[in-house]
Structure 1
Amino acid sequence: MNTDDVRPTGDAPRFVVQIHDARRMHFDFRLEVDGVLKSWAVPRGPSDNPRDKRLAVPTQDHPLEYREFEGVIPQGEQGGGTVIVWDQGTYRPLSHDEQGTPVSFGEALERGHATFWLEGARLHGEFALTRLRAGDDEPEPSPVAWLLIKANDNEAVHDGPGTPDPYNARSARTGRTLHQVEAAERTHQD
């Protein structure tokens, strides 16, 4: 694949990956779609290694402004815990129908399989989100979870871990760790 053909333009939709140290540590993978951030909790984080198939559990849509959020959500509130922006950038939808005609990203998600090219501070290249179903015997298939998978392209990493240790990871926006963001919030409150 010629990567020049899939790199996004300046008005491309945005994405963000936030590390969220809440009840359970996880990564929040968010894509700008139809005026909101479609969101998935990815317990082990996105990987740039095609061998890693990452579970991605859909969560509620978030407002676009949330892609810049970094701070502490108070305990007792939904999602209470510390958040940093691990990666951010733009993406380009790559999904198409059976005839090869491009489809909107929202439609691709509704169909249960969306491919896209990320241009982030850390993540680059083609990825796919594929919906898993609860079971074929159900009258209406229910989305239980998705898989987030890196394509085997020129941007893929084949040796080493695909995602860093979230406790030592640094923000793509500020360079701070989760601990530093939390400490700064405590200092600000005192």
Structure 2
Amino acid sequence: MTARERLRDYHAKRDFGRTGEPRGRGAAVGDEPRFVVQIHDASTLHFDFRLQVGDVLKSWSVPKGPSGDPRDKRLAVPTEDHPLEYEEYEGVIPAGEYGGGTVIVWDHGTFEPLSHDRKGRPVDFAESLDHGHATFRLHGEKLRGEYALTRFRTGKDESWLLVKGSADHARRQGTPDPRRARSVHSGRTLAQVAGNS
């Protein structure tokens, strides 16, 4: 399947004449896969967690955001694949558009796929996600260490859990207040980005 086919849902939900979101014209794929966590103040305030898988960003909405504490199991609801260029996106999606609201880049960086089979052999990352469990190590400005995504419900209400690995030294704290959080790109808060639109 091509990136264009994987982005069909993304394109169908957006009017690019109104929104400044990237169309997805084919960003270069680097040596190390990328991740981004965005704070999105839409109909509900939430975090969007995105992992590069091939030429798209697989995406989940995480209402409470990722945690550095292995005791926190965070709900992660899958959304449509996004283009690689979305890693850089920060701005205001106009009211009335899908996802209307303000977006900032809370964290970004690279990640290492860590998934393996029962014999300890590496498993393709896309395949591990298809099977419903993927482990990876994040190398971000704020998030570091091992995490896992595990699907616990399939079908129309597909749901996953995002959990920090217990082997790492845990930061015994949750995610900061998203309204006060600052972008790793611009240093601005949600209110500051919204005010400059």
Question: Secondary structure of 2:186's match?
Answer: coil
Matched, 1:131 2:151: yes
Residue 97 (structure 1) aligns with:
117
1:46-67 Cα deviation digits (max 9, x unpaired): 0010000000000000000011
Q: Residue 51 of structure 1 aligns to which amino acid in structure 2? A: R
Structure 1 length as normaliser, TM-score? 0.85
Structure 2 length as normaliser, TM-score? 0.82
Matched, 1:68 2:82: no
Deviation at 1:34, TM superposition (A): 1.6
Matched, 1:183 2:195: yes
CA distance in 2, matches of 1:50, 1:30: 20
Residue 167 (structure 1) aligns with:
179
CA distance in 2, matches of 1:27, 1:143: 18
How many residues are treated as equivalent by the alignment? 168
- Could you list the structure 1 runs, at least 4 aligned residues long, displaced by more than 3 angstroms after superposition: none
Confirm or deny: 8 A CA contact 1:68 1:85 kept in the other structure.
yes
Q: Which has the larger radius of gyration?
A: 1
Confirm or deny: 8 A CA contact 2:146 2:168 kept in the other structure.
no
Confirm or deny: 8 A CA contact 1:131 1:143 kept in the other structure.
no
CA distance in 2, matches of 1:107, 1:151: 20
Cα gap change, 1:107 to 1:71, in 2 (>3 Å)? same
Unmatched segments (≥5 aa) in structure 2: 1-29
Residue 108 (structure 1) aligns with:
128
| 2:167 counterpart (139, 153, 157) | 153
Deviation at 1:28, TM superposition (A): 0.1
RMSD: 1.3
Cα gap change, 1:101 to 1:143, in 2 (>3 Å)? farther
Give identity over the alignment, percent. 65
Confirm or deny: 8 A CA contact 1:124 1:155 kept in the other structure.
no
